[in-house]
Structure formats: C-alpha cells, structure tokens
Amino acid sequence: MYKETIFIVEEDPEIGFNAKALGFPIFTQGDTMEELKKNIKDAISCYFDEKSEIPKVIRLHMVKEEVLAYA
C-alpha cells in the first residue's frame, strides 16, 4: 500500500491544467482545477488494480513558470 502520491501540476494555456504523477505513469488534464482534481482521482482508480493499493494522500505540487527580462 502506498501512503501518498505526488502530482506535478502545470498550467497549460490551451487546455487548463496538466498533472503528472511522480513514480507512476499517470497523466491527466482538466479545464479547471476542480475538473483536474476529479480526473486525478479517476486516473488513480484506473491505475491501481486493488482498492487497498490506492494512496490515501494525493499531493499536488503547483509549478508556475515566470519569465523575467534582464535588460
């Protein structure tokens, strides 16, 4: 049994949000953050065969890229 799963979440201007699990081949998307959270739970349920294997905690690490101009 896994205690937690960590997802890296990035904003995507065309789609909304992308999420990729660390340590598992799980990837999903959502137009809104609420949709993304639902899709993450669905993707985890599909990936793990046994309900007892599903992590109890899902951590979302938000990544926001900013570009600074140096003149």
Residues 16-65: tens digit of each pLDDT: 999 999 999 999 999 999 999 999 999 999 999 898 899 999 999 999 88
Q: Is residue 38 part of a domain?
A: yes
For residues 36 and 28, the answer to whether their CB atoms sit within 8 Å is yes
Q: Is residue 42 part of a domain?
A: yes
Q: Is residue 17 part of a domain?
A: yes
Q: Say what the pLDDT of residue 67 is.
A: 84
The total domain count for the chain is: 1
> Is 1's pLDDT higher than 70?
no
- The phi and psi torsions of 36 (rounded to 5 degrees) equal -60, -45
